[in-house]
Structure 1
Amino acid sequence: MVLVKPPALKVAERRKHYESLNKQQLVDLLERRDGIRPLTLVWEREHLKEDLGITEAFPALRLEPDLSCGTAPWRNLVIEGDNHPALRHMLAAWRGKVKCILIDPPYNTGNKDWVYNDRFVGKTDRFRQSLWLEFLYQRLLLARELLTDDGVILVCMSDENRSKLELLMDQVFPNMRVGSLVWRSRIGGNDKADHFLSVNHEHVLVYGGPKFRFGGTEKTFDKYVFDDGDGKGPWRLDNLTQPKDMTERRNSYFPLQDPATGIWYPCNPNAVWRHVMASEGKRKQRVKTKTMDQLLDEGAIVFPSEDRVETWATKDALLAAIDSGDVPWRANAPMLRRDLPDLDFWVGKPVGWGSPQIKRYKKDLHHQTQPLSSWIRYAKDPAAEDDDVTEITAPMTEEGTKLINALFGEKTFNYPKPPSLIKALLQQVTDEDSLVVDVFAGSGTTGHAVLALNAEDGGNRRFILVSNTEATRAAPRRNICRDVCAERLRRVIAGYEVQKKTRKVGVPGLPGDFAYLRLDAVGYGDVPYDLADSDVWTSIQLLHDLPLRPFDEDAPFQQGGDELTRIVFAPRTTPAVVDRIRALAATTPLVVWARVPGPILDAVDPQRVTVRAVPADLMQEIPE
């Protein structure tokens, strides 16, 4: 019998649970716990005050047309409110449909960077770390369910809290860790004054679904300049060695002879051949790649020409050459040394100074793109030469700050991420029709980046941003979502001006729109009375992933969708409404939501019309 404490039990409940067990059950439980030592992250969950964002209420979303941008129907969403109930509402519509979640959560520095339960969490708060971990844990659990199989979550974090967050994400996203990117975020500073260390970088943690992969960049194929005219196509020269020494890969350490000239080439004892001889491969292990014999027969090995060649007639002559260093060298190391085995082999043989290489054919490439480097290079730093990886280049934090200042004429948000950094990340992890979610939207950088990337490549990506007001008891009228996030996007879409020395320069607007939604908690018992028809219509459209339209007070019923399926909401079921719905169903399949569904059910063909009850079915769709 396996007995494990339910993780959600509080102290008193756990005591009651233990007291209900008999002696043998307690022994079994202790033995099991003694035998398990999980590597995990533990925080003081039982002693934390309740998170006010996690409410036992229906998360109603109320459309604010006056705060929305562009002409309805709106494709993008900006949601004002706590992200936990917002995520609950989102799960009903976009579970398993989101390609990218990109978030920049609070860094938990204690410097008024994080509002929790209407107050800032300071450095002296005893439960500061545990509050932060629990807060993120509850939201990441919901966010995980939004991802597609090829989806990814990117989480920006400071170096100080990266390790704690990574352990937390390992628990929430088991077996999904891809790695992390390192971004040079600034220059200067002396954060660790006692240790004289300036922390100038941040991290982007990457957790992805089983089918996720970065896009990389398309290879240029500039190096494939050779073609033998044998039908195998273009090829380039590549290194024939691997970063393993002769003790690690004994069967890959052997001399190689050019069959055309008879010249022998010693193997690098510190970096042996990538391929084995057929005899060595059969004796040691099953060979998964081509053997050196096969490559030689195919003419795939390219030997040096017009290089130095020496022959030592005696072993003493060979040893003298070794002692003087007059032997082939690779990477500042001699290829022949006194301590190497079978030195007699090299006596009397022509020895070449060059290094054999292998032909790499373009047709044999596994991928047509170069992989992404984990190093995000500062845009002004030089790129590495001959590097077969893709590097994201990005400016530092100051780009985001300068942009906010240009948009608003003042500093309205602390430490916004550079849009070009977020755009470069999205370029690597999304396609042109991806849905991008940011539930810690702050100043709206993710939405800005989506609009900019769409303008650049003609994509149709959509964004859903959730940004709280960040109001506190001391600043009750503060509203970051309305006054910074949404206003920034509005100005970016309309176009704005920036000051360039003595003149202002116009920045063209980016195509896009968004609907502005306010999140409100409605008690489940009050939903039938307090959930307005306009709120019902908003939720119905979101559930069916429709572009958002405002509620039309003058229409007998609301409708959306396309020629394949029409979505209808009938607040009132009159005979005229039933007749209209019956007529619509004759040409197009319908999903009808109604407060009084009975008369509609009696009048329509159930093969063509699905009838849903409001608010019962709506409450069922959106999880508690």
Structure 2
Amino acid sequence: MSRLTELLRQARKADEQLGKDLEAEIVALTKRRTFGLVFEQHQPEAVELPGRAVRRGDKVRVLPPRGEVKQGDQRLWRVDRIERVDGTRVAHLSEFEAEQPEQPEQQSALVEDVVVVAEFRDRIYPGLVETGRVERGGDKPFHTVINAENYHALEMLTYTHRHSIDAIYIDPPYNTGAKDWKYNNNYVEGDDDYRHSKWLAFMERRLEIAKELLNPEDSVLIVTIDEKEYLRLGLLLEQIFPDARITMITSSITPGGSTRSGTFNRASEYIYFVQVGTSAPMPLPLSAEWNPVGTKNKQDLYWARLIRSGTQPFRTTHPNLFYPIYVCQTEGGEGTFHSIGDPFYGDGWENASAPQGTTAIWPIRADGREGRWQISPNALREAMSGGFVKLGPWKQKQTTVYYLKQGERAKVANGTFSIVGHRPDGSVITDGSAYQARFVPTDIWRITAHDAGNSGSRLVEKFVPARKFPFPKSLYAVEDALRFFVKGKPHATVLDFFSGSGTTAHAIMRLNKQDSGKRQCISVTNNEVSAEEQRGLRKQGLRPGDPDWEALGICDYITKPRVTAAITGETPQGDPIKGDYRFTDEFPMAEGFEENAAFFTLTYEDPLSIRHHRAFERVAPMLWLRAGSRGRVIDDLGEDGWDVAEAYGVLENIDQMGDFVARVAEVETVETVFVVTDSDAAFQMTCRDLPARVTAVRLYESYLHNFMINRRARA
């Protein structure tokens, strides 16, 4: 590509327009994946929306008869009209994108036997319906659990959280071939020739939107994976995040290993850390099993040898750092400093005179060659005045000189190591009994807490007894991975759009308890029922959307109950959770957490209803999310046409602007307001009167514009 860039430069120099035209063609070619990771893009995914009412013009599928186990007709149909016949609603359908568009196949079906379908190339206008909440955290922001197809949920979050997510942790399907994920409404089997290509297309669509949500200044994407797709995932991440720093960790999750036929047993998985902007893992005090070989939790400062080692250790490169240090030896064999000489240039240093009663210590290396000190005479005098230079034991009328570097001196200055006395040479004696070393670990993790059996499957069973979820992550593994990046961000927003059993939200609650943080987690999962359970449910005549079916879906059956149980300390049956949390923070699970959580289901709205303010109740939770997920949701503006909650306000009746602005000024925690108006002049007038701390957003122009832009960008 560098050669191509140079040729383009020459072309622009010779003919500017020709250069621009060539560059445009090359950009078009690169977008077709001629360079980089190449895979089939496949037809756009589609998701069935069983809870969505059928309307004229909708795209639908016709469901198989109740009791039928086999998959029904997968063709898409358009609803031409709906009529009522003998008390039932009948939909008249035309085949969508028929082979002969002028003569599409037509049929009729009961409305209850068709399901609305949303393809990912379609523009959506999302809303949210709250399905419950639990409150134990006072004024803390709410964790949120969203029941939705995660691609559409990510699209929704571009309106509420674009460029504002601090960390994303995801555990996507590993593509094992064991019916662990669907592509376009079908499970991807192990013998599918396009299995890997479908997985890449599936992941690329979601990661592209995730990139828009991450804070470009400082954020991290964490992705776990196993050997089935880790190579392709690595290339895909490099392609989507070309400017990020990407590191892959090997993490032991099954110490005993799981048997695999014909090859080595599997004991580990891989974790990709995609560090965006200035993101970097924070050095932390960690347990002994994290410590690299030879590292101990020091109880004393590190005194470095003053003589230079490593690069450029000789007098010839730094002659100004070749000087004597004069010391006295006491009768007890201790040494004390007398003075520091000036740099010695030229030959004859061996015969240089020393003050009476002192010995000159020169930077002579063990092999007899002339070395040099680490710092200048003046810098050494300054360090000595603070007690940061000391002498070692005497050997053959010589001693070793040690000093504290700036990082170690800072530990004394900030009180990490308290001074409890001084040695005869004037150096400080410190107490480091409370000190715990901080470091960033290596890229191989073998940590007891990360066992997916004890800290994953068996732990989840404590919170939702008798409810099975396949392969949940270790709670402590997720907690540890995130800790390196959000420990210093007590108000971080964390997203998991493959949230499964809700481990990431659980981990954030533990991190909050450890340092009184107010981090919040957004968890996205669908309400899919496992492949094994689906067959039995269909034999019973049930379908997606039926209450008995939905009650067994991941979100309603596992995620929401687990998050609730973690907060309350009680199982869904009302029993105290048995056992204690372990490792970093040990306490009874029955204590729960002082946290808040709210649960939502994604809806699909009509743009005309949005524009005419007839869908405010479903848009309202999105405004609450955008304002920080704090306090109550404003879902009814009342007779006055405005309301102000703890974090935000909404104004629909411009005639009441004065009262609204006055109330916003009174509630000092309000940072965002939404103004419902088609008038730019009215919006600007409201903005002028609002306090400086407040950000104003215009409804519904901002909402509609956001989702029109999304679809154009991904068309």
The structure 2 residue matched to 1:567, chosen from 621, 645, 649, is: 649
The alpha carbon displacement at 1:115 in A equals 2.7
**Counterpart of 1:489?**
563
The alpha carbon displacement at 1:194 in A equals 2.3
Q: Pairwise mapping of residues 156-167 of structure 1 onto structure 2 (< 5 A)?
A: 156-167=224-235
**Counterpart of 1:619?**
704
Distance change in 2, residues 1:364/1:552 (3 Å): closer
**Counterpart of 2:130?**
64
Q: Pairwise mapping of residues 66-465 of structure 1 onto structure 2 (< 5 A)?
A: 67-70=132-135, 75-148=142-215, 149-189=217-257, 191-195=259-263, 197-217=264-284, 222-224=299-301, 236-237=303-304, 260=359, 277=372, 290=375, 305=393, 359-360=404-405, 362-363=408-409, 370-375=438-443, 377-380=445-448, 394-430=450-486, 431-465=489-523
Matches of 2:200 and 2:503, distance apart in 1: 24
The alpha carbon displacement at 1:554 in A equals 5.4
TM-score (structure 1 length as normaliser): 0.67
**Counterpart of 1:326?**
none
Secondary structure of 1:180's counterpart equals strand
**Counterpart of 1:44?**
40
The one-letter amino acid paired with 1:121 is V
Secondary structure of 2:180's counterpart equals coil
Matches of 1:128 and 1:93, distance apart in 2: 33
CA contact under 8 A between 2:464 and 2:561: conserved in structure 1? Answer: no
Deviation string 1:165-212 (CA, Å, 9 cap, x unpaired) is: 1111111111212423332100234555323x1221122211112222
Secondary structure of 1:181's counterpart equals strand
CA contact under 8 A between 2:281 and 2:484: conserved in structure 1? Answer: yes
Higher relative contact order (CA 8 A, sep 6+): 1
The structure 2 residue matched to 1:601, chosen from 682, 698, 711, is: 682
Distance change in 2, residues 1:604/1:486 (3 Å): same
Alignment gaps of 5+ in structure 2: 5-17, 48-119, 287-296, 327-358, 417-436, 538-543, 571-575, 581-587, 666-671
Distance change in 2, residues 1:52/1:541 (3 Å): same
**Counterpart of 2:604?**
521
Instruction: Give the RMSD, CA atoms, in angstroms.
Output: 4.9
Secondary structure of 2:134's counterpart equals coil
The alpha carbon displacement at 1:425 in A equals 2.4
Secondary structure of 1:514's counterpart equals strand
Distance change in 2, residues 1:129/1:552 (3 Å): same
Between stretches 54-63 and 411-420, larger displacement belongs to 54-63
Matches of 2:310 and 2:246, distance apart in 1: 24
The alpha carbon displacement at 1:558 in A equals 4.8
The alpha carbon displacement at 1:454 in A equals 1.3
Deviation string 1:528-553 (CA, Å, 9 cap, x unpaired) is: 47962201222333333353516248
Between stretches 55-64 and 547-556, larger displacement belongs to 547-556
Q: Pairwise mapping of residues 523-538 of structure 1 onto structure 2 (< 5 A)?
A: 524=607, 527-528=610-611, 532-538=615-621
The one-letter amino acid paired with 2:409 is K
Alignment gaps of 5+ in structure 1: 5-21, 225-234, 279-288, 310-349, 381-392, 571-576
CA contact under 8 A between 1:258 and 1:303: conserved in structure 2? Answer: no
Matches of 1:373 and 1:456, distance apart in 2: 20
The one-letter amino acid paired with 1:82 is E
**Counterpart of 1:314?**
none
The alpha carbon displacement at 1:518 in A equals 1.1
Matches of 1:612 and 1:147, distance apart in 2: 21
The one-letter amino acid paired with 2:597 is F
**Counterpart of 2:53?**
none
Distance change in 2, residues 1:429/1:605 (3 Å): closer
Residue identity (%): 19
The alpha carbon displacement at 1:103 in A equals 1.2
Distance change in 2, residues 1:176/1:241 (3 Å): farther
The alpha carbon displacement at 1:445 in A equals 0.4
The one-letter amino acid paired with 1:135 is F
Matches of 1:601 and 1:251, distance apart in 2: 71
CA contact under 8 A between 1:81 and 1:518: conserved in structure 2? Answer: yes
The alpha carbon displacement at 1:467 in A equals 0.8
Deviation string 1:330-368 (CA, Å, 9 cap, x unpaired) is: xxxxxxxxxxxxxxxxxxxx9x9x998765452278999
The alpha carbon displacement at 1:613 in A equals 6.3
Distance change in 2, residues 1:374/1:592 (3 Å): same
Distance change in 2, residues 1:521/1:191 (3 Å): farther
Matches of 1:268 and 1:432, distance apart in 2: 53
Secondary structure of 2:249's counterpart equals strand
